[in-house]
């Protein structure tokens, strides 16, 4: 078994996933950078990590597919260990749509795909982690899981609420196996995926945020690093807001 700690980051080719891959690599992890379609972006993340002296490799896989999820975990754990699983991959594209205009099939697809993106990976990762007697799993959720804060987000918010509840059940089952399970819950994060949000809307979000700005991917990555670090060894089943205080504020 290798002495190098290993992390698998799904959706690791851009945004929060890419920032997390870089952050964990800087902390000494060998990082499997998962991607689904954009190999060039994943390779760029790996190039940046190796240029900084870290260890990483790109690995393609559809996290919703049981066989591909098993292969992702096998590839990440080739050195004989899997220390960290970060479930960040976006399960399905969605367009903000109010309930009156949202077909049931679209709503069901969003909620189902959200859980499909973590369910097989969690099973396969736990099989490895329980055998070694330790591990960390972190799911990337959203502040919308706590309730509406933007119009048309009923499918996304419900899906993330389901993810949060799933994570708490997993934490209770995984704890006796030596595995910690937690959630990071960002508010608005400035990423490629949110680039279409008008600057004026971003300004208003920043004004309503006690810390006075919107989040960057590195803010979420550092919170994930905190949860998988040894100082958080007695933390499990927790949903950690990474929102600059927006969820606490009623202003």
DSSP 157-192: HHHHHHHHHHHHHHHHHHGGGTEEEEEEEESSB-SS
List the chain domain ranges.
6-242
The number of beta carbons lying within 10 Å of the beta carbon of residue 138 is 26
| Residue 212, C-beta contacts closer than 8 angstroms, at least 6 positions apart | 206, 244
The number of beta carbons lying within 10 Å of the beta carbon of residue 40 is 10
More confident residue, 3 or 158: 158
Which range is least confidently modeled, 82-96, 108-122, 178-192? 82-96
pLDDT at position 195 is 65
More confident residue, 59 or 2: 59
Asked: is 6-242 a CATH 3.40.50.720 domain? The reply is yes
In three-state secondary structure terms, 98 is coil
Cα within 13 Å of Cα(158), Cβ side: 17
CB 88, CB 121: distance < 8 Å:
no
Residue 57's pLDDT band, with cuts at 50, 70 and 90, is very high
Instruction: Report in angstroms the alpha-carbon separations of 160 from 105, 144, 194.
Output: 17, 7, 17
pLDDT at residue 196 tops 80:
no
Residue 3's pLDDT band, with cuts at 50, 70 and 90, is confident
In three-state secondary structure terms, 35 is strand
pLDDT at position 92 is 67
Distance of CA 117 to the CA centre of its chain: 10
pLDDT at position 250 is 59
Q: How far apart are the C-alpha atoms of 231 and 142, rounded to whole Å?
A: 24
Nearest alpha carbon to residue 239 among 172, 178, 161, 177? 161
CB 136, CB 87: distance < 8 Å:
no
């Amino acid at each position: 078994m290798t002495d190098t700690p290993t992390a698998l980051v799904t959706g690791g080719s851009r945004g929060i996933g890419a920032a997390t891959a870089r952050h964990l690599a800087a902390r000494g992890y060998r990082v499997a950078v998962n991607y689904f379609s954009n190999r060039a972006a994943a390779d760029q993340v790996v190039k940046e990590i190796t240029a900084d002296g870290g260890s990483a490799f790109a690995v393609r896989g559809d996290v919703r597919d049981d066989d591909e999820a098993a292969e992702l975990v096998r590839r990440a754990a080739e050195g004989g260990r899997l220390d960290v699983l970060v479930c960040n991959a976006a399960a399905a594209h969605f367009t903000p749509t109010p309930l009156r205009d949202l077909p049931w099939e679209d709503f069901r697809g969003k909620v189902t795909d959200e859980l499909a993106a973590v369910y097989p990976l969690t099973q396969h990762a736990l099989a490895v982690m329980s055998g070694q007697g330790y591990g960390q799993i972190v799911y990337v959720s959203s502040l919308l899981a706590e309730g509406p804060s933007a119009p048309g987000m009923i499918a996304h918010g419900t899906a993330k609420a389901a993810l949060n509840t799933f994570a708490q059940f997993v934490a209770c089952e995984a704890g006796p196996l030596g595995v910690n399970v937690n959630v990071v819950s960002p508010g608005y994060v400035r990423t490629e995926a949110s680039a279409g949000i008008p600057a004026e809307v971003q300004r208003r979000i920043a004004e309503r945020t006690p810390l006075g700005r919107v989040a960057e991917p590195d803010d979420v990555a550092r919170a994930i690093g905190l949860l998988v670090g040894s100082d958080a060894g007695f933390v499990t089943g927790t949903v950690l807001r990474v929102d600059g205080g927006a969820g606490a504020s009623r202003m």
